[in-house]
Homo-oligomer: A and B are copies of this chain.
Amino acid sequence: MNNERFLVIGGVAAGMSAASRFRRNKPEAEVTVIQNGEYVSYGSCGLPYFISGLVKDVHGLVVYDAEFFKKKRNINILSWHEATKIDPAAKVVLARDLKEGREIKLSYDKLAICTGASPFKPAIPGNELKNIFVIRTAEDGVILRNFIEKEAPQKAAIIGAGPIGMEMTEALSVRGIEVTVIKRPGSILRMFDDDMVAKVEEELKGKNVNLIKNAIIQGFEGDKEGKVRTVVLADTRYDVDFILLATGSKPNSRLAREAGLKVNADETIAVDERMQTSNPDIFAAGDCVGQKDLLTGKEVYFPRGTTANKQGRIAGENASGGNEAFEGITGTLVSKIFDLTVARTGLSSQEAAAAGYDFVTSTISHPDHAFTYPDPAPENITTKLIMDRKTGRLLGAQMIGKHKNMGVAKRIDVFATALQNKMTVDEINRLDLAYSPPYSPFYDNILIAAEVGLRKLSRGT
């Protein structure tokens, strides 16, 4: 009898986690990963720092290369291969060798679909012009950086203003490029409350970023060579040397749909808590599937690399005969935007309202550490809590502070842990948190936020 064959489509976060877990559980199995580009296991969240030049070389984004997986983990990597068809009845995947052009056939006993997501390209006239970039894969990063280094562009427009748009705004500014951020009607960083977003807008202004909100883009116009030159709005035109589309992503579920697997209305591949698709031999994980929001219990699409990793591990575990569940997410996110750190977890005010919660918010601004350790000088962090009026339970938290002071990213993790445990604000107020002047004010920002939140809850306003 042949060894068991585990095949994984996609070799980034979810895919390599699935392959590695399967390999650990079944040392005798044949584990193969199909990847449609050169690089596997790279940190796409590091792309802004590759574009800015802080990361010198694209290999600086790669956690482990194909060689490592082959030698150390006995995982076979088929780089530059694109899966074109899944045949669940025959338990076969067809893949095209992108370099040689020929097609190969791969049999599997268990399959994991970790095809990730693709940049969403809005249907704007002219979006086929040259020098309109996206940033999702390592290859996208190489293309954009080569362009910047060869063409020395002066002016860019970034379409979209989510965390990736914001981080790329910083990256391009670091390169000396004049950036105009163009945002359709609706808030920038829409997973944050408006008062928090206002602080980010202030930061952008201070960094000479031109932010155009409520923009309806009529089209992109190019020159004779077909290179994009202008963004046309209703009443204005912006000259550009290139455009970056940062307008979100959509799950890559075509293969799964064509194979007859169940796909949800939002185009995510349908999976259960065990990451199993509608076919018991096929699992899916990462940005091509959704997640359960632990606050509302509803399915959401909040693609994050860390979630992909966790889901991939569970797909690999269960494909190899295990029985683990991925319960869901609390929607935690941190982003460095110029000199600010912005972070959130749980529900924003808008999300809490949409979910039908009767909620109270409270906001404090307080130094990140004690003034009895003045090196560096304490700087304020703004902390906002969203709380259930009836139960006093925390629903969400948002923080903004200076990047240099570093206390924001980890404090949001305390709130994320509190959310996972369904803590009330009163319980948070009793947490035994570490204190020493270099690290925290005497009452930590978390405790002050909880205390002020409690008072607001008790006043009922």
Residues of A whose CB lies within 8 Å of any CB of B are 13, 43, 45-46, 49-50, 54-55, 60-61, 63, 294, 304-307, 309-310, 326-327, 329-336, 341, 343, 345, 370-375, 403, 405-407, 409-414, 416-418, 420-421, 423, 427, 430-440, 442-444, 446-447
Contact B370 A432 (CB under 8 A): no
- Asked if A332 meets B416 with Cβ closer than 8 Å, knowing A45-B370, A437-B45, A442-B43, the reply is no
Contact A434 B45 (CB under 8 A): no
In the complex, what's the smallest C-beta–C-beta distance from A136 to chain B, in angstroms? 15
Q: Report the Cα distance A393→B438, complex, angstroms.
A: 31
- Which listed residue (B45, B294, B432) contacts A345, Cβ 8 A? B432
In the complex, what's the smallest C-beta–C-beta distance from A220 to chain B, in angstroms? 30
In the complex, what's the smallest C-beta–C-beta distance from A24 to chain B, in angstroms? 9
- Which listed residue (B63, B330, B331, B372) contacts A46, Cβ 8 A? B372
Contact A309 B438 (CB under 8 A): no
Q: Report the Cα distance A460→B227, complex, angstroms.
A: 63
Contact B417 A414 (CB under 8 A): yes
Q: Which residue of B lies closest to A62 (CB)?
A: B372
CB neighbours (8 Å) of A331 from chain B are 432
Q: Which residue of B lies closest to A55 (CB)?
A: B372
Q: Which 10 A-B pairs have the closest CB atoms?
A: A46-B372, A410-B410, A409-B439, A334-B434, A421-B421, A406-B406, A417-B417, A330-B432, A306-B435, A329-B432
Q: Report the Cα distance A421→B420, complex, angstroms.
A: 10
CB neighbours (8 Å) of A446 from chain B are 413
Contact B305 A435 (CB under 8 A): yes
Q: Which residue of B lies closest to A404 (CB)?
A: B406
Pick 20 A–B contacts, CB within 8 A, sort by A.
A43-B372, A45-B370, A45-B435, A45-B437, A49-B374, A55-B374, A63-B442, A294-B432, A306-B444, A330-B432, A336-B439, A345-B432, A406-B406, A406-B407, A410-B439, A413-B446, A414-B414, A414-B417, A416-B433, A416-B434
In the complex, what's the smallest C-beta–C-beta distance from A454 to chain B, in angstroms? 11
CB neighbours (8 Å) of A447 from chain B are 306
In the complex, what's the smallest C-beta–C-beta distance from A59 to chain B, in angstroms? 11
Contact B334 A373 (CB under 8 A): no
Contact B430 A336 (CB under 8 A): no
Contact B409 A440 (CB under 8 A): yes
Q: Report the Cα distance A446→B413, complex, angstroms.
A: 10
CB neighbours (8 Å) of A436 from chain B are 45, 334-336, 409
In the complex, what's the smallest C-beta–C-beta distance from A322 to chain B, in angstroms? 11
CB neighbours (8 Å) of A434 from chain B are 332-334, 343, 345, 409-410, 412-413, 416
CB neighbours (8 Å) of A406 from chain B are 405-407, 439
Contact B306 A433 (CB under 8 A): yes
Q: Report the Cα distance A345→B434, complex, angstroms.
A: 8
Contact B54 A375 (CB under 8 A): yes
CB neighbours (8 Å) of A430 from chain B are 310, 326-327, 420
Q: Which residue of B lies closest to A41 (CB)?
A: B442
- Asked if A431 meets B410 with Cβ closer than 8 Å, knowing A336-B438, A372-B50, A403-B438, the reply is no
CB neighbours (8 Å) of A407 from chain B are 406, 410
Q: Report the Cα distance A372→B53, complex, angstroms.
A: 11
CB neighbours (8 Å) of A410 from chain B are 407, 409-411, 413-414, 434, 439
